[in-house]
Amino acid sequence: MLRQLFAWIVGRRLENERLSEEKFSVFWGMPILSSDAISSVAYAVEEMLWILVPVIGMASYLWMPRIAISIILLMLILVFSYRQVVEAYPGGGGAYVVARDNLGSGSGLIAGAALSIDYTLTVAVSITAGTAAITSAFPQLLSHHVAISVLLVILVALGNIRGIRESSRLFSIPTYAFIAAVLALIIVGIIKGASATHYSIPEVEMSHVPFGTELVTIFLLMRAFSSGCSAVTGVEAISDAVPNFKEPPEVNAKRAYTLLAFAIIITFGGITYLTNVYHPVPTPNLTIIAQLAIDVFGRGGMFYFIQFATAAILIMAANTAFAGFPTLLSVIAQDRFVPRQFAMRGHRLNFNNGIAILAVLAIILVVIFQGSTHHLIPLYAIGVFTSFSLAQVGLLTRWFREKPDGWPYKAVVNSVGAAATVSTVLILGVTKFSEGAWVVVVVIPILVVLMLGIHGHYKSVARQLDISNEALIGTDLSRGTVLHVIVPIDSMNTMVVKALQYARTMTANVEAFHVEIYPGEGDKLRNKWALLNTDIPLVMRQSPYRDIVGPLVEYINSEDHASKPGDMITVMLPQFFVSKWWQTLLHNNTSIFIANAMFRQHKVVVSVLPFYLEADK
Amino acid sequence: MLRQLFAWIVGRRLENERLSEEKFSVFWGMPILSSDAISSVAYAVEEMLWILVPVIGMASYLWMPRIAISIILLMLILVFSYRQVVEAYPGGGGAYVVARDNLGSGSGLIAGAALSIDYTLTVAVSITAGTAAITSAFPQLLSHHVAISVLLVILVALGNIRGIRESSRLFSIPTYAFIAAVLALIIVGIIKGASATHYSIPEVEMSHVPFGTELVTIFLLMRAFSSGCSAVTGVEAISDAVPNFKEPPEVNAKRAYTLLAFAIIITFGGITYLTNVYHPVPTPNLTIIAQLAIDVFGRGGMFYFIQFATAAILIMAANTAFAGFPTLLSVIAQDRFVPRQFAMRGHRLNFNNGIAILAVLAIILVVIFQGSTHHLIPLYAIGVFTSFSLAQVGLLTRWFREKPDGWPYKAVVNSVGAAATVSTVLILGVTKFSEGAWVVVVVIPILVVLMLGIHGHYKSVARQLDISNEALIGTDLSRGTVLHVIVPIDSMNTMVVKALQYARTMTANVEAFHVEIYPGEGDKLRNKWALLNTDIPLVMRQSPYRDIVGPLVEYINSEDHASKPGDMITVMLPQFFVSKWWQTLLHNNTSIFIANAMFRQHKVVVSVLPFYLEADK
């Protein structure tokens, strides 16, 4: 039942051959990979106002455009830099691969850890912001906002488990709907703003806002810039997922970057401009976009459409992370720095383990931060810009090392990129450290140490399992070990006879072993054994403490048994299998305990001879 | 850590030989097995008043002695009857064994089911009544009474897991303390009551009590009698546990019954007499015993001593059930009507599984009934008297069938016993049906059907495993099955080479099997295999759905492999074992999935060849 329901939700499994079919075109791929970058417009402007308005009031609206221009500039630098990443690394992997290949695996792991944190926060921030768009439209849902966020994370994760292509069509619509909605808002807003001095914000709300009485400090502007940087997050995603584009993937990915740059400049620039016209004030219950929509269109159909489109793109932004993170993890898993299960494709050809762990981590964040975007933001951008910086510096060193055609131009682009992103990391670290960025500073090294430990384990396993070609050639398979089989038995029955027959076929060297729990209890077995008329010895041991496993372990480790040192002991367990699972509860299941104890003894092979019981009659 | 703590709580394990040491004398055994019977005095009188006082007020105190005398009479009949049970069944098992042997296994199971319900309710009722004694002394604990009850159940269960003898000394003290406390209360109460008309009950409390205005109906008296019958519960326990007494167990058990009869007559009779003198009125927050203690001694040291002694004996009454129920279950388990695990003795020679399940069931009851003794009582006595009746009728048929020395006397005793207990069952069924007795009437047949199902399963298993002596004599162990070994391999490594060597020693008939997940992925393995220069075939299968287990199952069920029909296929799994448990998470653990799938295929032996990895360096 449950299995069928799950199968219905995730769809039927797909063959390997269909892997190449499941690819993005530019038009459908850009929105799915960049809904994060585009949607962050929805909260980035608001987060900047949260920093400025409580301190400098109306003066905020004068400073907003200047900060916005610096952020758009930063974004353009990033897009140009990342187009070069795509060109240099058509295999995907983004900052992780770039840093690993050019700066060494240590830097790669730092980038990988930073990106992992970034993806997790992308899901948490986008989903909580999307929930805020919903509760702005329907204030009666405000008290359930944490539950709504958790539910949305689960829905997006399930959608991703279903598969790439189906999701790309479906999940692209919200991005285009959001772009359309914001364009309408901007155009109508500009026209209305030009035709009338149209400040509809109630005096009540404005009255508590100071009117430029405070000093506009550099630090304040840097804090606003830091918050605004959240608009740039998600630019990485396309470069991580280059192989998901249709042939030729590099060209399509670069085109997607160009398309993305246009979308962000227009939406982010336009919304910032509108704040300068309508002067919205950030409050916890009504988003800035919602306030602008009310100012421009009133609380009518367009208002609800804008809220829906905003919620939808923010939810799809979480989807960006669900597309990017599992791909990144699979690349790191191929390098053996995270569990190899992350490199395995599921029924629908996606990396389900990565999707599942991302959902769990995001839900934990949402619950801890009680669904507040505002409190999650300070943790957010530092991880992103750390990976940006590593990618830029990595690429820069590459150009100097490899000197490909036109490398001076490339080096200039990435120098500018490196300078911009490194200084942004410093600004973020300084301005947001005490508000939460310190968490990221602590977690990144922990993750790196963890990944190094995992890598060490895999290397150790490989070293112990590896066999050289010379050794293979020299192997003589016919010169096997001497076999010695011990069959633990409780009583004499059909199953035991089968096990003894099987053991006898393996080797002449067979013993039966019985633990006598109460003195004399084994006499019946002894008599039955005599009837069998075999030379297989029946070994009996007393167990004053009613323990069956202990005496067997003792016997195997003692010198009494017939094996010589170096022999391989096989413990042959006759085990019946019942026809209904609950019937297992009616039996002692001693075999399981014996098998577990045997695996703790070195050099014991455990064989299970099954005996299938029919249903009760 | 946790294991050590548990070991410290339950004590070190005991040898089989110490089984005979862990026995009761009459003096220490009676209180531990009969604390239930004696302690029920504490609530039986109160439950009778709960029935009478709200209806007939002061007239209750006139009727109380008459009902009490009929209950004492019933108790004497039971004690005499059960002394005959002990004599006839020195092996223990009580009503279950008596009914099974004389009336057939169906009646035995009804008795067994009734007793099981009885024991569970004994724990729940005694513990909640004990908690009421505590909260009467410390009213500030009233709001935590459910949590206190649950905690007490767990403590008593742990005490029982520790062992018989140690508990007998420790747990007998409360019974004697209670008897002493009640004797003191009765003696001082009678003296004070005679020297003065000493009705200290405030007028306020009495004012709402009707003063004999209602008709004293037979039905009302029967309901009061039914509630009072809870005083007689627990008489069974000594006969269930005869083998726990020191040699000669029958004689000691009969002596214990005589001692018990005296104890109940004095305490139950005395308290009933005191209610006639002091007229206490039942209320939810102060027990009748507590009210009497305040009347006789005031709220001083003696009051607290009586409350403590009452709480202690009630808690130890739960202990009666923890001594009796596991013993009963072990007897039923030996007859194969409940899972055989209930017949296994634990580290401390007790039947730990029975103790654990009793604790769980009692806690469920306490929580469902929110710790109210008053609401549990209607479910209680009907199970007890059902088993009493079956035991009496069973013994009666025995005397008529076997006619031992002095059988007419024995027959008379048990005829009276049967008549008394059967009519009590009828009275209980009629007067308490709608209050909760119906639950018992529903649950008993369900338990009987369950036990018959379990028995059917064990019989079916035995039939399928059984081998006759003739078949044993005719068995030729040298004529074994033909062996065919399949070794599933992922890549070529040291472990695989060992597995192939081992398999080759078993039989010449070995195949290696590899699942190719992506086309061409197996080429490396093929090349390595060629180096091995062996005639063992390497079978490869494609898996378009990335499933490893499926192709192996298909191969085994196909005709392609080298086995002939009737051959035994052995799947040999090379499996490495990591040195730290968490490292298991870093591996696919495909072997586990393969082993589980193989066990679903009939006629496949699964062999695990372990390879132990060293710790990472």
DSSP B602: T
Query: Is B533 part of the contact surface with chain A (CB cutoff 8 Å)?
Result: yes
Q: How many CB atoms lie within 10 A of CB B317?
A: 32
Give chain B positions within 8 Å (CB) of A520: none
Give chain A positions within 8 Å (CB) of B518: 16
Tokens at A304, concatenated:
């609800």
Q: Do B477 and A501 touch (CB under 8 A)?
A: yes
pLDDT, tens digit, for every residue of B27-67? 888 887 888 888 888 888 899 999 888 888 888 888 888 89
Beta-ladder partners of A483: A568
Residue A179 pLDDT grade (very low, low, confident, very high; cuts 50, 70, 90): very high
Contact yes or no for A468/B488 (Cβ under 8 A): no
> Residue A198: pLDDT above 80?
no
Q: Look at residue A434 in the predicted model and tell me its pLDDT.
A: 84
Section B248-257 average pLDDT: 88
Q: Look at residue A203 in the predicted model and tell me its pLDDT.
A: 41
Least Cα separation, residue B529 to chain A (angstroms): 8
> Residue A93: pLDDT above 60?
no
d(CA B220, CA B57) in angstroms, rounded, equals: 12
Query: Is B593 part of the contact surface with chain A (CB cutoff 8 Å)?
Result: no
Residue B207 pLDDT grade (very low, low, confident, very high; cuts 50, 70, 90): very low
Q: Look at residue A116 in the predicted model and tell me its pLDDT.
A: 92
Q: Do B339 and A586 touch (CB under 8 A)?
A: yes
Q: Pick from B465, B469, B583: which is nearest to A493 by CB?
A: B465
| CB environment A381-392: b (16+ within 10 A), e (fewer) | bbbbbbbbbbbb
Give chain B positions within 8 Å (CB) of A347: 545
Q: Is A299 helix (H, G, I), strand (E, B) or coil?
A: coil
Q: Look at residue B610 in the predicted model and tell me its pLDDT.
A: 87
When mean pLDDT is compared across A204-208, A288-292, B395-399, B597-601, the lowest value belongs to A204-208
> Residue B199: pLDDT above 60?
no
Q: State the distance between the two ends of chain A, measured CA to CA, in whole angstroms.
A: 27
Contact yes or no for B242/B101 (Cβ under 8 A): no
Give chain A positions within 8 Å (CB) of B507: 505-506
- CATH number for the B2-459 domain, one of 1.20.1740.10, 3.40.50.300, 3.30.1540.10, 3.40.830.10? 1.20.1740.10
Q: Look at residue A204 in the predicted model and tell me its pLDDT.
A: 39
d(CA B31, CA B37) in angstroms, rounded, equals: 9
Residue A294 pLDDT grade (very low, low, confident, very high; cuts 50, 70, 90): very high
Give chain A positions within 8 Å (CB) of B467: 492-494, 497
Query: Is A468 part of the contact surface with chain B (CB cutoff 8 Å)?
Result: no
**Range among A375-379, A449-453, B284-288, B328-332 with highest mean pLDDT value:** A449-453
Q: Do B347 and A533 touch (CB under 8 A)?
A: no
Section B131-148 average pLDDT: 91
d(CA B79, CA B128) in angstroms, rounded, equals: 26
Higher per-residue confidence, B333 vs A8: B333
When mean pLDDT is compared across A90-94, A414-418, B300-304, B591-595, the lowest value belongs to A90-94
When mean pLDDT is compared across A198-202, B541-545, B606-610, the lowest value belongs to A198-202
Q: Where are the domains of chain A?
A: 2-459, 483-612
Query: Is B545 part of the contact surface with chain A (CB cutoff 8 Å)?
Result: yes
Q: Do B546 and A483 touch (CB under 8 A)?
A: no
> The whole model's pTM is what?
0.74
Q: Look at residue B116 in the predicted model and tell me its pLDDT.
A: 92
Q: Do B461 and A493 touch (CB under 8 A)?
A: no
d(CA B243, CA B241) in angstroms, rounded, equals: 6
Q: Look at residue B584 in the predicted model and tell me its pLDDT.
A: 79
Q: Do A480 and B608 touch (CB under 8 A)?
A: no
Question: Given phi > 0 = left and psi -120 to 50 = alpha, else beta, which region is B351?
Answer: beta
On average, the pLDDT of chain A sits at 85
- The burial class, CB within 10 Å (0-12 / 13-18 / 19+), for B349 is buried
Q: How many CB atoms lie within 10 A of CB B460?
A: 18
A window 313-332, beta carbon within 8 A of B: none
Tokens at A279, concatenated:
């002067």
Give chain A positions within 8 Å (CB) of B617: 460
B window 65-94, beta carbon within 8 A of A: none
Section A542-546 average pLDDT: 79
Section A220-243 average pLDDT: 84
Section A430-451 average pLDDT: 90
> Residue B22: pLDDT above 80?
no
Q: Look at residue B149 in the predicted model and tell me its pLDDT.
A: 95
Q: Pick from B465, B477, B507: which is nearest to A536 by CB?
A: B477
> Residue B616: pLDDT above 80?
no
Contact yes or no for A597/A480 (Cβ under 8 A): no
SS (H, E, C) A74-140: HHHHHHHHHHHHHHHCCCCCHHHHHHHHHHCHHHHHHHHHHHHHHHHHHHHHHHHHHHHHHHHHCHH
Contact yes or no for A529/A538 (Cβ under 8 A): yes
> Residue A390: pLDDT above 90?
yes
Contact yes or no for B335/B100 (Cβ under 8 A): yes
Listed residue (A39, A35, A40) closest to A381, CA to CA: A40
When mean pLDDT is compared across A154-168, A536-550, B372-386, B528-542, the lowest value belongs to A154-168
Q: Do B586 and A458 touch (CB under 8 A)?
A: yes
Query: Is B364 part of the contact surface with chain A (CB cutoff 8 Å)?
Result: no
Q: Is B428 helix (H, G, I), strand (E, B) or coil?
A: helix
Q: Look at residue A167 in the predicted model and tell me its pLDDT.
A: 56
pLDDT, tens digit, for every residue of B447-488? 999 999 999 999 988 888 888 888 888 887 776 667 889 999
**Nearest-Cα residue of chain A relative to residue B456:** A616
Q: Look at residue A1 in the predicted model and tell me its pLDDT.
A: 64
**Amino acid at position A110, single letter:** I
pLDDT, tens digit, for every residue of A464-492? 888 888 888 888 777 666 788 999 998 88
Higher per-residue confidence, B546 vs A562: B546
Length, in residues, of chain B = 617
For an interface test with B, give the residue of A536, A605, A612 to mutate (most B CBs within 10 A).
Answer: A605
Contact yes or no for A543/A580 (Cβ under 8 A): no
Tell me the count of A-B CB pairs closer than 8 A: 210
Q: Look at residue A7 in the predicted model and tell me its pLDDT.
A: 66
Beta-ladder partners of B516: B542
> Residue A414: pLDDT above 70?
yes
The CATH-assigned architecture of domain A483-612 is 3-Layer(aba) Sandwich (3.40)
Q: Look at residue A212 in the predicted model and tell me its pLDDT.
A: 47
pLDDT, tens digit, for every residue of B216-232? 678 888 888 988 888 88
From edge to edge, which strands make up the β-sheet containing B483-488?
A538-542, A510-516, A483-488, A568-577, A604-612, B604-612, B568-577, B483-488, B510-516, B538-542
Distances (CA, A) of B240 to A112, B31, B91: 68, 15, 8
Q: Do B613 and A460 touch (CB under 8 A)?
A: yes
Q: Do B599 and A616 touch (CB under 8 A)?
A: no
> Residue B390: pLDDT above 90?
yes
> Residue A444: pLDDT above 80?
yes
pLDDT > 70 in chain A, percent? 90
Query: Is B347 part of the contact surface with chain A (CB cutoff 8 Å)?
Result: yes
d(CA A102, CA A90) in angstroms, rounded, equals: 15
Give chain A positions within 8 Å (CB) of B504: 477-478, 480
**Amino acid at position B456, single letter:** G
Query: Is A452 part of the contact surface with chain B (CB cutoff 8 Å)?
Result: no
Q: Look at residue A349 in the predicted model and tell me its pLDDT.
A: 67
Residue A17 pLDDT grade (very low, low, confident, very high; cuts 50, 70, 90): low
pLDDT, tens digit, for every residue of A343-372? 887 766 678 889 999 999 999 999 999 888
- The burial class, CB within 10 Å (0-12 / 13-18 / 19+), for A405 is exposed
Give chain A positions within 8 Å (CB) of B607: 570, 605-608
Q: Look at residue B2 in the predicted model and tell me its pLDDT.
A: 65
With tokens 């804090």, the residue in question is A223
Query: Is B497 part of the contact surface with chain A (CB cutoff 8 Å)?
Result: yes
Residue B202 pLDDT grade (very low, low, confident, very high; cuts 50, 70, 90): very low
pLDDT, tens digit, for every residue of B174-193? 889 999 999 999 999 998 88
Give chain B positions within 8 Å (CB) of A453: 616
> Residue A229: pLDDT above 90?
no
Q: Are strands B604-612 and B510-516 parallel, antiparallel or unpaired?
A: unpaired
d(CA A315, CA A38) in angstroms, rounded, equals: 12
Least Cα separation, residue A516 to chain B (angstroms): 11
Give chain B positions within 8 Å (CB) of A505: 480-483, 507
Q: Do A467 and B546 touch (CB under 8 A)?
A: no
Q: Do B599 and A576 touch (CB under 8 A)?
A: no
Q: Pick from B483, B534, B576: which is nearest to A477 by CB?
A: B534
Q: How many CA atoms lie within 13 A of B495 on its CB side?
A: 25
> Residue B10: pLDDT above 80?
no
On average, the pLDDT of chain B sits at 85
Higher per-residue confidence, A17 vs B281: B281
Q: How many CA atoms lie within 13 A of B139 on its CB side?
A: 5
Residue B511 pLDDT grade (very low, low, confident, very high; cuts 50, 70, 90): very high
pLDDT > 90 in chain A, percent? 31
> Residue B203: pLDDT above 70?
no
Residue B204 pLDDT grade (very low, low, confident, very high; cuts 50, 70, 90): very low
Q: Pick from B478, B493, B531: which is nearest to A504 by CB?
A: B478
d(CA A129, CA A144) in angstroms, rounded, equals: 14
Contact yes or no for B362/B153 (Cβ under 8 A): yes
- Maximum CA pair distance of chain A? 111
Query: Is A455 part of the contact surface with chain B (CB cutoff 8 Å)?
Result: no
Tokens at B409, concatenated:
């006397």
DSSP A40: T
Tokens at B206, concatenated:
């009495």
Q: Are strands A604-612 and B604-612 parallel, antiparallel or unpaired?
A: antiparallel
Give chain A positions within 8 Å (CB) of B576: 461, 465
Tokens at B387, concatenated:
């088993």
> Residue B97: pLDDT above 50?
yes
Rounded to 5 degrees, what are φ and ψ at B491? -150, 175
pLDDT, tens digit, for every residue of B547-598? 888 899 888 888 777 676 667 789 999 888 888 877 878 887 788 888 888 8
